[in-house]
């Protein structure tokens, strides 16, 4: 089954620096833990990609159309198509006291914000700190080992994936939605009601729907608060179920 621009796919990947073999990103939780990349609260699962939409590095995006579903494929990306060449002019020495004045304790390898820019601390000594303003992966050849796990064929699959992309901290299965001619109605689970940025996420879902399903003109979000059954009602339901099982 050939892939093409505009397809919705789910991919797993392990991303490495070719020169050192260092893993810097992955969708696999076990590998993240093994490589000391694991972050509490991050979600490790196949990543949704709409081919050609720039949701991954451009060079990787372009290589996806040549991949086969279920087959692991290595995609090598040179520096000029990844994070660019390393620029020596972006490496600066600054007085240690300037960092301490901003309550920054310099540790080699740490990423810090200094004077409005992100930098990596490369060395500390003699009252000075060496700051590298290049992106951490500048000048590196990257290798992505990618497996396309699935192509999402139906509108329902694609809409569910779009919702999950925007609100990943809530299980995808907890969102109920219906798709009609020009309207998508989404019932929000209670876990999503008070999430930080949920209104922005809703707007993002609408923008995605408009982009990928232009005939859909309306996205409705419903929030319903449901009372838990009282203890007596739960007891009565349990007894009724028990009697039914006994009779059968």
* 159 and 123 share one domain: no
Q: Which domain holds residue 173?
A: 154-248
* 144 and 47 share one domain: yes
Q: pLDDT tens for residues 139-174?
A: 999 999 999 999 999 999 999 999 999 999 999 999
- Entry field: residues in the chain: 248
Q: Residue 246: is its pLDDT beyond 50?
A: no
Average pLDDT in the chain:
92
* 43 and 146 share one domain: yes
* 163 and 187 share one domain: yes
Domains held by the chain: number: 3
* 103 and 166 share one domain: no
* 105 and 40 share one domain: no
* 93 and 60 share one domain: no
Q: What's the token pair of residue 86?
A: 């390393």
* 74 and 145 share one domain: yes
CATH classification at residue 2: 3.10.50.40
* 145 and 43 share one domain: yes
* 196 and 238 share one domain: yes
* 158 and 246 share one domain: yes
> Are 39 and 3 contacting, i.e. CB atoms less than 8 angstroms apart?
no
Q: Residue 244: is its pLDDT beyond 70?
A: no
Q: What is the pLDDT of residue 235?
A: 61
Cα angle value 25/123/82 (rounded, 5°): 30
User: Which residue, of 151, 181, 203, is where some domain finishes?
Assistant: 151
CATH classification at residue 241: 3.30.70.2210
Q: pLDDT tens for residues 100-133?
A: 999 999 999 999 999 899 999 999 998 999 999 9
CA dihedral 57, 63, 68, 71 (to 10 degrees): -60
User: Which residue, of 151, 186, 204, is where some domain finishes?
Assistant: 151
Measured distance CA(91)–CA(85) in Å, rounded:
13
* 187 and 64 share one domain: no
- Provide the pairing of β-strand 23-26 with 8-17: antiparallel
Q: pLDDT tens for residues 15-34?
A: 999 999 999 999 999 999 99
State the angle between helix axes of 155-166 and 198-212 in degrees (0 to 180), rounded to the nearest 10.
Answer: 150
Residues ≥6 apart with Cβ < 8 Å to 25: 13, 14, 15, 37
User: Which residue, of 64, 99, 132, is where some domain finishes?
Assistant: 132
Q: Residue 242: is its pLDDT beyond 60?
A: no
Question: Cα-atom radius of gyration of the chain, to the nearest Å?
Answer: 25
């Amino acid at each position: 089954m050939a892939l093409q621009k505009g397809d919705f796919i789910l991919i797993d990947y392990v991303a490495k620096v070719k020169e050192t073999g260092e893993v810097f990103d992955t969708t696999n939780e076990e590998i993240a833990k093994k490589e000391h990349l694991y972050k509490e609260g991050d979600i490790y699962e196949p990543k949704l990609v709409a081919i050609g939409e720039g949701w991954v590095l451009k060079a990787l995006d372009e290589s996806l159309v040549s991949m086969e579903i279920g087959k692991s494929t290595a995609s090598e990306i040179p520096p000029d198509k990844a994070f660019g060449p390393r620029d020596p002019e972006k490496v600066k020495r600054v007085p240690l006291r300037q960092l301490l004045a901003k309550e920054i304790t310099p540790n080699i390898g740490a990423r810090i914000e200094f004077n409005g820019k992100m930098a990596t601390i490369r060395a500390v000594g003699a009252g000075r700190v060496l700051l590298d303003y290049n992106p951490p992966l500048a000048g590196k050849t990257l290798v992505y080992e990618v497996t396309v796990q699935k192509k999402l064929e139906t509108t329902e699959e694609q809409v569910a994936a779009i919702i999950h992309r925007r609100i990943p901290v809530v299980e995808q299965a907890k969102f109920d939605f219906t798709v009609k001619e020009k309207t998508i109605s989404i019932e929000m689970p209670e876990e999503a009601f008070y999430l930080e940025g949920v209104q922005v996420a809703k707007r993002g879902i609408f923008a995605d729907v408009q982009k990928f399903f232009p005939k859909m003109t309306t996205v409705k979000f419903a929030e319903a608060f449901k009372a838990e059954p009282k203890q007596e009602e739960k007891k009565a339901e349990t007894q009724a179920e028990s009697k039914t099982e006994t009779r059968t």
